[in-house]
Chains A and B, each alone.
Chain A
């Protein structure tokens, strides 16, 4: 028995079997084995956060000189916009009041009422060249829940996949493991938006299962459908860039440009379901 245990080939085979077992057990995002990620993520999170902070400051410093040139031209443009916006604010105030009155009359529930907004910063990006996953500085200590939607002011970013003590991993909508039930804003047809190996590097994703004879054109807006239970309805995903039509009934697909620029994304909002 002792000879077997000290046999190098036996140890090699044992390690391989254990690693295969680990891969099988950790395949599910909610697997308890994933807690070992804390061994790396807890000590790494402060370092990543510090680097992210310094990187941002250095970027801001160099950006300052470039910004001065732009500021003058922008100032004139902004003065014009202010007067336009002042008028729009008055309209919006009136419309908001009307909207509230109508919602109250219809007993509509605001879809975001059931969510708590938690702001977070990206402290690390995906370490390899395969996926589009990033790490944010909010973890189980902030009571983040798995599958919480992640958004910005512009639209959908993705969902929380794994949660460590001080940080969480977010799968973006352009990652190959991401699937979002969506709707074309114009025609209201249901589609599925998912990540694609080829499109990922360009910051794009694709929309599958476009029903035949659907009125879909470049420039159309795509939003979440609310089906599936992860993403609330009506969050903007992106715009259709092109439509590729094939012969099969559901073979056509569209290329979607997300409203979120994943290359320059720094801060996000996690929607946490209220208890």
Chain B
């Protein structure tokens, strides 16, 4: 449990660090990927609903804090997206590229679309088609590319933590 909390904290901090610094340098057409959405999808695919929801909440809250605007919107959206993914994750072939791409694309579009509706449209902005094609879709595609190299390393870390837990439980028994 202790290792799991440390690993989760490192994952969140590294996500925050890369999102606010490194990713700025790999922008294409002024669009950068959203690493925290990608990490949320990966964790939701690998872990139980409770752990996924908790991690999604923290990833979302981290993004809210980094943005420096209203706290809670990304946390809420990440939380709501992670639950259905984690509920069906055992029925999916998680290693299949198509599964990763579909879930990342769907999650990214849903999260950013809803964020736009909540934050911008309620203020009277009416640029939805423009924003959809120039921000939401390119970011979702970018996230799909980012998940491919990231899924395996994160899965390996979680498998390693599971192994440690199993060994400890066996020793305790």
Confirm or deny: B127 has a beta carbon within 8 angstroms of a beta carbon on chain A: yes
Measured between C-beta atoms, what is the minimum distance from B161 to chain A in Å? 21
Task: Give the distance in Å from the alpha carbon of A16 to the alpha carbon of B112 in the complex.
Answer: 18
Number of A residues near B (Cβ < 8 Å) is 43
Task: Give the distance in Å from the alpha carbon of A52 to the alpha carbon of B69 in the complex.
Answer: 22
Contact of A19 among B34, B76, B83 (CB under 8 A): B76
Would you call A197 and B120 a contact (CB within 8 A)? yes
Would you call B67 and A128 a contact (CB within 8 A)? yes
* Interface magnitude class on chain B: 35 or more
Would you call B65 and A39 a contact (CB within 8 A)? yes
Contacts of A130 in B (CB 8 A): 67, 115-116, 119-120, 135
Contact of A44 among B20, B127, B135 (CB under 8 A): B20
Contact of A23 among B17, B22, B65, B73 (CB under 8 A): B73
Task: Give the distance in Å from the alpha carbon of A171 to the alpha carbon of B31 in the complex.
Answer: 19
Contacts of B23 in A (CB 8 A): 127
Stretch from A26-34, A63-71, A86-94 at the B interface: A26-34
Task: Give the distance in Å from the alpha carbon of A55 to the alpha carbon of B112 in the complex.
Answer: 29
User: Assuming the A-B contacts A40-B62, A55-B25, A129-B31, are A23 and B67 also in contact, with contact meaning beta carbons closer than 8 angstroms in the complex?
Assistant: no
B interface residues, Cβ below 8 angstroms from A: 13, 16-17, 19-25, 30-32, 34, 36, 53, 57, 62-63, 65-73, 75-76, 79-80, 83, 112, 115-116, 119-120, 123, 125, 127, 130-131, 134-135, 139
30 contacts between A and B (CB under 8 A): A15-B53, A19-B72, A19-B76, A20-B72, A22-B71, A22-B72, A22-B75, A23-B70, A26-B71, A27-B70, A34-B71, A36-B65, A37-B65, A40-B65, A44-B20, A47-B21, A48-B17, A48-B20, A51-B17, A51-B21, A52-B21, A124-B66, A127-B16, A127-B63, A129-B32, A133-B67, A133-B69, A135-B20, A162-B68, A197-B120
